[in-house]
Amino acid sequence: MKWLGLVRANLGRNALRTALTGAAITLAVALVCMLLTMPEGLNSLLDNLTNNTRISVHNKAGVVYAMPYAFTRKVRQVDGVAAAAAMTWFGGAYEEAGRVTFPNFAVEADQVGAVYPDYGIRPEQLADFQRYRDGAIVGRQTMRKYNWKIGDRVTLRSTVWPVTLDLRIVGEVPNERAPMLWLNREYLDQALKAQGRPGLGIAGVIWVRAESPERVNAIMRTVDELSRNSEAETASETEKSFFANFFGSLQGFVTIVLIVTGLVALCIVFIAANTASMAVRERAGELAVMKAIGFTRGIIFGTLLAEAVVLSTVAGLLGVALTMGLTGLLRAFAGWNETLGPLGSFIVTGPVIVQGVFLSLFVGMLSGVVPSWGAARKPVVQTLHEVF
Amino acid sequence: MSLPPSYAIRNVTARPARSLMTAGVIALVVVACTLFLGLISSLRRTLVSSGEPLNLVVMRKGSDNDGSSQLTLEAYQAIKYLDGIARDADDQPLVSPELVVQPFFRTRDGGRENVLVRGVEPVALQVHREVRIAEGRMFNPSSAEAVVGRGVMGRYEGAALGDELQFGRGRWKVVGVLDSGGSSFESEVWVDVRELANDAKRPFPYSGIRLTAASPDAMAALERRIDDDPRYAIEAQSETAYYAKQAESANALYVLVVGIAVLAGIGAGFGAANTMYAAVQARTAEIGTLRALGFSRGAILWSFQLEAVALAVLGFLLGAAVAVLLTKAIAALVGGVAFGARTFTTNVVTLAVAPGDLAAALVLSLLIGLAGGLGPAWRAARLRPIEALRKA
């Protein structure tokens, strides 16, 4: 520890260089952390919003192929099913943008509460959702994005059904990462019938909650067996697998992001190594003198290495702080972006911070070792010759 | 009096290790940015098709893409014989009724993705002039045959020429491969429109209609005529406008990537500045000598700046070469990168670097060079000759 003074003095002797290197590492660590939050955000979304007792039942051919609504009742009677709710994509566009900016579904108002007890929707809000035909329940993320409050009225124009519905927000899903809006399927059904069309006789996905995680597999088998050889054969899967598949199309993008992240990390190693080797080269004479007056190799190597490690760690910590600031800004600014899907909701999770700090430590080690080792091993006489 | 450019260039080659280090840092940034920009430009190319200037897309009012639109047979029959539609050699109007569904396809690695299947009639190839059959042949109507886009081929189980593809409720024999010069049609599968309607059990036979107008004036008239028809609640828009809207989905990504490029660029700029500062320090005596010989401050500033830019260009060349090779390697290894757009369908993006991406990377590396070189060059020019010479 008594050498810390030496390390500090050495870092301070060329303040400009130290600052430049530090800034380069800070930015690079911030970048790597930002990029890492994408796949990390995907995972935490899956962990955060999915539940190991929930099952998705949908048509085997695809989510856009519907099932007869009557099948929901059959599913509800299966042994081990605690609750089941039919959900149909409404595809409502809010405001004049004419684009779907958050996912919205027509759901069975009297069932969703029992299927999603983990969402923590207040019971009185669920009761209102059942009582008011035009009621809607909205995820907190979307509430924030548009500054909606309970009691506000919103109008959604469907891009799928030939209807526009006026809704009243009666409840919210208190989860920062919940973007969805639920409306009453009966409301949509009646709106369709009012136009002289057949009503909403279909269900897009039937969400099922099992009484316990052990029952999940048996339920999935039974449900798929029930629909065998019918108009709409189903494929059941756990909620997590459903969403993982749903976001699976983003995996390729995430792969590219990770490759780029690796490159950026390599960049930092380069910059830091460059600086460390410059510092050593400049001080060759001085190091030789130090060795000549009795400093051991170990101390010389240690102090040089410590210099690199201290610099990159401090810079790395700053980088992590910068990431937090930036992602906070992005979140406040962008909210849930439908094109990026879950990648748009940047969340800095613990693991990412740890990775960022470790990355900078690692950079310091890696960039410091080679030049310091070389400097410590050089014979004194040779160095003194070169210098004087 | 100014210094010859060769002086600056020779300074780059005089310390190969240090120069390569700096150029290497810039090169890495160039690689990262080029990869990202390449991804975006490939995305934009794949998510959209430029559209034919004389083509109209007809959909249900309020739909934002043909995946969520529905049309009746009556609407199609009413539109088919409107005035102002171009005709083919047999005097048949160029009107392509289409049905779009997005069933699951199994990927080769066991996942599943929604792929856009377009039910069409043979006339579709005349309406979508950019699409051609590159291998095999067009499907025969009502014989459970399919033609697959280039991006789809090989990505999914059974999606190769001569194979049997399974989606929806049926099985389809792959008889041809579609090519559309890289646009979105290459992520689609085309089958007979009636067979698809049967398979999907859709209440409405069509999602939308594409038609080719005879002239720009006829196109505007058709658009008005279709929009104003009170019977069917449908609307028409030009294919160009339709695809421009679809392309918006890549905009957010674009902003994100530009932000990342700028951050990486600033970091690299710091790294480059570092090296240049060190170069100035090491050459204090040399600068003093030059000043004593009568070279002006401006000349020294200019020479150092040139040196930094030369390094940046070197870095760009290195980085661009690596990036192009890397994208080729990724394209060969991964095949296409799947990207789920808003519309529930998977677009298969083949990664490629466009000239524009390289130009953007070049601008970025020049900026890094200029910004990173400015401080050190300024310092070099401001050195007092007397003090500089004393160090010699």
pLDDT, averaged across chain A: 83
Residue B135 has what pLDDT?
A: 92
Averaged pLDDT for residues B185-203: 88
A17 vs B76: which has the higher pLDDT: B76
Model confidence pLDDT, tens digit, residues A60-90: 888 888 899 999 999 999 999 999 999 999 9
CA nearest to A244 within chain B: B111
Contacts of B260 in chain A (CB under 8 A): 31, 34-35, 260
A41 vs B358: which has the higher pLDDT: B358
Model confidence pLDDT, tens digit, residues A239-249: 888 887 777 66
User: For chain A, what is the total number of helices (H) and then of strands (E)?
Assistant: 14, 12
Q: Is B35 part of the contact surface with chain A (CB cutoff 8 Å)?
A: yes
Which tokens go with A244?
């993982």
Q: Is A34 part of the contact surface with chain B (CB cutoff 8 Å)?
A: yes
Residue A332 has what pLDDT?
A: 63
Neighbours of B282 (CB within 10 A): 14
Share of chain A above pLDDT 70, in %: 89
Residue A347 has what pLDDT?
A: 63
Residue A96 has what pLDDT?
A: 65
Chain B, 186 to 205: residues with Cβ < 8 Å from chain A are 200-201
Contact A271 B31 (CB under 8 A): no
Distances (CA, A) of A86 to A17, A176, A383: 63, 24, 80
Model confidence pLDDT, tens digit, residues A130-185: 999 999 999 988 898 888 999 999 999 888 888 899 999 999 998 777 788 999 99
Rg (CA), chain A: 30
The partner residue sitting opposite B31, judged by closest CB among A21, A98, A263, is A263
Q: How far apart are CA A287 and CA A376, in angstroms?
A: 8
Chain B, 117 to 156: residues with Cβ < 8 Å from chain A are none
Q: How far apart are CA A287 and CA A331, in angstroms?
A: 50
What is the model's pTM?
0.76
Residue A336 has what pLDDT?
A: 47
Averaged pLDDT for residues A180-205: 91
Q: Is A92 part of the contact surface with chain B (CB cutoff 8 Å)?
A: no
Q: How does residue B61 score in pLDDT terms, banded at 50, 70 and 90?
A: confident
Going by their DSSP bridges, the two strands B145-149 and B188-192 should be labelled as antiparallel
Model confidence pLDDT, tens digit, residues A92-125: 888 766 677 788 999 999 999 999 998 889 999 9
CA nearest to A346 within chain B: B256
Averaged pLDDT for residues A320-330: 81
Task: Say yes or no to pLDDT of A208 above 60.
Answer: yes
Model confidence pLDDT, tens digit, residues B280-317: 777 778 888 888 888 888 888 888 888 888 888 999 99
Which tokens go with A312?
């990159």
Rg (CA), chain B: 29
Residue B252 has what pLDDT?
A: 67
Share of chain B above pLDDT 90, in %: 22
Mean pLDDT: which of A104-108, B18-22, B107-111 is highest?
Answer: A104-108
Secondary-structure breakdown of chain A: helix, strand, coil percentages, each rounded to the nearest 5: 60, 15, 25
Q: How does residue B45 score in pLDDT terms, banded at 50, 70 and 90?
A: confident
Residue A1 has what pLDDT?
A: 58
Query: What does the DSSP assignment read for B200-221?
Result: HT-SSSBSEEEEEBSSHHHHHH
Nearest to B29 by CA among B278, B266, B254: B266
Share of chain B above pLDDT 70, in %: 94
Q: Chain B closest CA to A247's CA: distance in Å? A: 8
Going by their DSSP bridges, the two strands A135-139 and A164-173 should be labelled as parallel
Q: Is A258 part of the contact surface with chain B (CB cutoff 8 Å)?
A: no
pLDDT, averaged across chain B: 84
Share of chain A above pLDDT 90, in %: 28
Contact A252 B277 (CB under 8 A): no
Q: How does residue A333 score in pLDDT terms, banded at 50, 70 and 90?
A: low
The partner residue sitting opposite B338, judged by closest CB among A62, A252, A267, is A252
The partner residue sitting opposite B252, judged by closest CB among A158, A160, A337, is A337
Residue B392 has what pLDDT?
A: 54
Distances (CA, A) of A160 to A90, A372, B68, B118, B207: 6, 66, 5, 18, 11
Contact A252 B252 (CB under 8 A): no
φ/ψ (deg, to 5) at B388 = -65, -40
Residue B249 has what pLDDT?
A: 63
Residue B33 has what pLDDT?
A: 80
Residue B250 has what pLDDT?
A: 65
Q: How does residue B50 score in pLDDT terms, banded at 50, 70 and 90?
A: low
A42 vs A22: which has the higher pLDDT: A22
